[in-house]
Amino acid sequence: MERFNSFMERYFMPVAGKLAEQRHLKAIRDGIIAIMPLLIIGSIFLIISSPPVPSWAEYMKPYAPTLNIPVNATFGLLGLIAVFSIAYNLAKSYGMDGLSAGVLSIAAFFVATPMTEEGNIPLNLMGSEGLFIAIVLAIFTVEVYRLFERKNIIIRMPDGVPPSVWRAFTALIPGAVIVFIVWGVDVILKTSLDLSLHGVVAALLREPLQMVGGSFWGAMVAIILIHLLWSFGIHGISVVASIMAPIWYSLTDQNVAAHQAGEALPHVVGQPFMAIWWAVGGSGMALALTILFVWRARSKHLKGLGRGSIWASMFNISEPVIFGAPVVMNPLLVIPFILAPLAVGMITYFSMTLGFVGKPYVIVPWTTPPPFSGILTTGDWRGGVLMMINIFVAMAIYYPFFRLYDKQLLAEESETKSDETPEKMMKAK
């Protein structure tokens, strides 16, 4: 174990730390997170329009088209909102004007978007289909804008001019160049290859990444990486999600579209699967470990920690357990901390693939407690049953490791107590 820790600290952790702080990845992560409230609101209307109870769903069917308007207005604008939000966050990280960068990125996004034959904006490209080009154009816009500012190729206004005015003139030259470059590349692609920027980015980025990120093995690798990072005290989901979140949201949007069309859902892996199903109680299926602390622990430390953190775990907050037990750098708990969510992820994936439980398509707040999160994300009461089964499976995986650690702590507490007896204290004096 010492060799493994040494290897991880020397080679893996520096890379993970740099990824966690990488400016562009943080901007993508923060930009995607900014969309979450809209997607949760859209999911609420999605649940209302097609509730998990068949009789209710039949009753709501005549109202579904009207109720789907907010769904389309939230999920359907995923790419458009992301291009602004990512550019805004990236520009702010450079100390630049985030608003101007966000506006210019929206302009670039629309310039790159091919119109329909009727001359209208294709709404499908405003949603998840446009998410990856939104990321590319947001980064491109900010970096070009930044280059012009560094080279001082901007219009300077006299002192005393209102900020709203000088911001507009500062963005004028770089904005014109950004729009011209995006337009020029798009025209060249259309005339020479009969392609659009959206089509090129889809072929080079979106489709390959979705194929990998939406696969069983892609999900399992992500789960392992998340928990390896947590095992060394780094917020694993933040690091991995900064790269994978666009893929997961895009896959979820495809499930939403299929659900609205009455078609079979194409994907198991998506934002609900990666945010909820293997993280009941937080990363590492922490609720299962917390229940064991409360129910079976004999050491004062684990018993007290369990009682103090059980309610946080019910709402998927795992930090009290991860840092309080601790799980971090603790060989006895790190092993089940990785194995439990991995086993639960496999059980959930194959249960959904084989049709035992509905596939997830609804985004709920990550603090939604079990088993309600299982029912709501799938629209299937069996999702709640599967989630409870997963908790028991995780408890079974944790139990032998927990017992060893609890005995170890109990022995240490007994030794400490014996050292504090009056006789030994008198001898110490």
pLDDT, tens digit (0-9, with 9 covering 90-100), for 350-369: 999 999 999 999 999 888 99
Q: Residue 281 and residue 277: Cα distance in Å, rounded?
A: 10
Q: How far is CA 189 from the centre of its chain?
A: 33
Taking the C-alpha atoms of residue 139 and residue 91, their distance in angstroms, rounded to an integer, is 9
Q: Which residues contact 221 (CB under 8 A, 6 or more apart)?
A: none
For residues 64 and 50, the answer to whether their CB atoms sit within 8 Å is yes
* 24 within a domain of the structure (yes/no): no
Tell me which of 158, 192, 213 is where a domain ends: 213
Last residue of a domain, one of 144, 179, 213: 213
Contacts of 300 (CB under 8 A, 6+ apart): 413
Residue 14 domain-assigned (yes or no): no
3-state helix, strand, coil in the chain (%, to 5): 75, 0, 25
What percent of the chain has pLDDT above 70? 90
Distance between CA 239 and CA 279 in Å, rounded?
16
283, 405: one domain: yes
Residue 116 is classified by DSSP as: P
Residue for token digits 């859902």? 265
364 and 43 Cβ atoms separated by less than 8 Å: yes
Q: Taking residues 45-63, what's their average pLDDT?
A: 81
Rounded Cα distance between 177 and 192, Å, is 22
Query: Is residue 87 over pLDDT 70?
Result: yes
Confidence band of 12 (pLDDT split at 50, 70, 90) = low
Question: Based on the domain organization, do 389 and 248 belong to the same domain?
Answer: yes
Write the pLDDT tens digit of every residue in 275-293.
899 999 999 999 999 999 9
Helix (H, G, I), strand (E, B) or coil at 250: helix
Q: Which of 183, 213, 243 is the last residue of a domain?
A: 213
In a domain, 205, yes or no: yes
Asked if 194 and 261 sit in the same domain, the reply is no
Whether this prediction's pTM lies above 0.85 is answered by no
**Residues 260 and 68 sit within 8 Å (Cβ to Cβ):** yes
Are 208 and 241 contained in the same domain?
A: no
Same domain, 157 and 295: no
For Cα atoms 318, 324, 329, give the angle at the middle one, nearest 5 degrees. Answer: 95
Question: What is the spatial distance between Cα 361 and Cα 260, in angstroms, rounded to a whole number?
Answer: 10
Helix (H) or strand (E) holding 231: helix 216-231
Residues 247 and 209 placed together within one structural domain of the fold: no
CA distances from 374 to 35, 142, 247, 316 (A): 22, 40, 21, 13
Asked if 182 and 232 sit in the same domain, the reply is no
How big is the CA angle at 318 (ends 394 and 237), to the nearest 5 degrees?
90
Evaluate whether residue 105 is within a structural domain.
Answer: yes
150 and 202 share one domain = yes
**Model confidence at 418, in pLDDT bands (50, 70, 90)?**
low
Residue 112 class from Cβ within 10 Å (0-12 exposed, 13-18 middle, 19+ buried)?
Answer: buried
Question: Mean pLDDT across the stretch 114-138?
Answer: 86
> Looking at the domain assignment, is residue 117 inside a domain?
yes
For residue 264, being part of any structural domain is answered with yes
Side chain identity at residue 350, one-letter code: F
Please, is 218 exposed, middle or buried when counting C-beta atoms within 10 Å of its C-beta (0-12, 13-18, 19+)? Answer: middle
Exposure of 63 in the CB half-sphere (CA atoms within 13 A)? 14
Q: How many angstroms from the chain centroid is the CA of residue 311? A: 23
Instruction: Identify residue 415 by its one-letter amino acid code.
Output: E
Q: Does residue 314 sit in the same domain as residue 404?
A: yes
Range of the domain at 284: 226-418
Helices (H), 76-215: 78-93, 98-112, 131-150, 163-170, 172-193, 197-201, 207-213
Q: Which of 329, 318, 308, 144 is nearest to 228 (CA)?
A: 329
Condensed to tens digits (0 to 9), the pLDDT of residues 241-268 reads: 878 888 999 899 999 989 888 899 999 9
How many structural domains compose the chain?
A: 2
The amino acid sitting at 193 is L
Q: What is the pLDDT of residues 135-185, one digit of tens each?
A: 999 999 999 999 999 988 888 777 666 776 777 788 889 999 999 999 999
Q: pLDDT tens digits, residue range 327-354?
A: 988 888 999 999 999 999 999 999 999 9
Q: With bands split at pLDDT 50, 70 and 90, how would you rate the model's confidence at 370?
A: very high
Whether residue 7 is contained in a domain is answered as no
Residue 416 CB burial class (10 angstroms; 0-12, 13-18, ≥19): exposed
Q: Cβ(321)–Cβ(398) under 8 Å?
A: no
Residue 17 has pLDDT above 80, yes or no: no
3-state secondary structure at position 156: coil
